[in-house]
Amino acid sequence: MDIGENISEIKKTLPAGVKLVAVSKTKPIEVIQDAYQTGHKIFGENKAQELTQKHEVLPKDIEWHFIGHLQSNKTKYIAPFVNMIHGIDSFKILKAVNKEARKNNRVIPCLLQFHIAQESTKFGFSEEEAREMLESETFATMKNITIAGVMGMATFTDDEQQVRNEFKSLKSIFEKLKNNYFPNEPQFKEISMGMSDDYSVAVEEGSTIVRIGSIIFGARQIKTT
Ligand SMILES: *Cc1c(COP(=O)(O)O)cnc(C)c1O
């Protein structure tokens, strides 16, 4: 398996402006190093400790994205260096990120995760919960995070129409939030959706960031999501 070739094949199919996060979770350092050497510098991980260990030993110009469900007590490990947190799924975790970012004198770009899939196991805000948070006084005081957009995961199914509809629903949530809360904030621009099996549909429906693991690095031993 030629990782560099896999990455460049995927990039060829992505429209200009769509960012590829190579999801390297569970993969060893050497494999990430190989991908890095082919010129790719954006990687995603879903465990705080694994991400921290990899950050320590790998080149410092890698852009690290945290893509999973983050626990408040783990936030401190990644706050010093993480470039974007995709899976903000509660006000509580956003507050924790803001606090740790402040300690590090940073502003961390965050994406709000929405529950768009039919599966009940996926994390995320409802629209109502997001509105409540965005309209709260506490949110207005949080200076060490910036909301850069939204993130979602479609149902794991062969039914392409269902997947497409779920991506459409995330795009529509994005538009509503943009109009209501971030009309003059250019940093609110990202729609993180699309994985190995469904990224082409996601791109057709307006994705700006795809998070792709298996078709770059091969299947993972254990299913971690
Ligand atoms: C593992 C993971 C991915 C990548 O999944 P693949 O199917 O291997 O492309 C994308 N997003 C999240 C949140 C993940 O946990």
Along the 225 residues of the chain, how does pLDDT read in single tens digits? 699 999 999 999 999 999 999 999 999 999 999 999 999 999 999 999 999 999 999 999 999 999 989 999 999 999 999 999 999 999 999 999 999 999 999 999 999 999 998 877 668 999 999 999 999 999 999 999 999 999 999 999 999 999 999 999 999 999 999 999 999 999 999 999 999 999 999 999 999 999 999 999 998 876 544
> Would you say the CB of residue 46 lies under 6 angstroms from ligand 1?
yes
Residue 196 CA: which ligand 1 atom is closest? 9
Q: Which atom of ligand 1 is nearest to the CA of 23?
A: 4
CA 107–ligand 1 middle distance (angstroms)? 25
DSSP class of 74: G
The domains of the chain are located at 3-196
Cβ neighbours of residue 24 closer than 8 Å, sequence gap 6 or more: 31, 32, 35, 43, 44, 45, 54, 213, 217
3-196: CATH number = 3.20.20.10
211 lines ligand 1 (CB under 6 A): yes
pTM for the predicted model, two decimal places: 0.96
Q: Which residue has the tokens 């995709």?
A: 86
- Closest by CA position to 199, among listed 2, 11, 8, 5: 11
Pick the residue whose CA is nearest to atom 7 on ligand 1: 196
Phi then psi dihedrals of residue 176, to 5 deg:
-65, -45
Atom of ligand 1 nearest to the CA of 199: 9
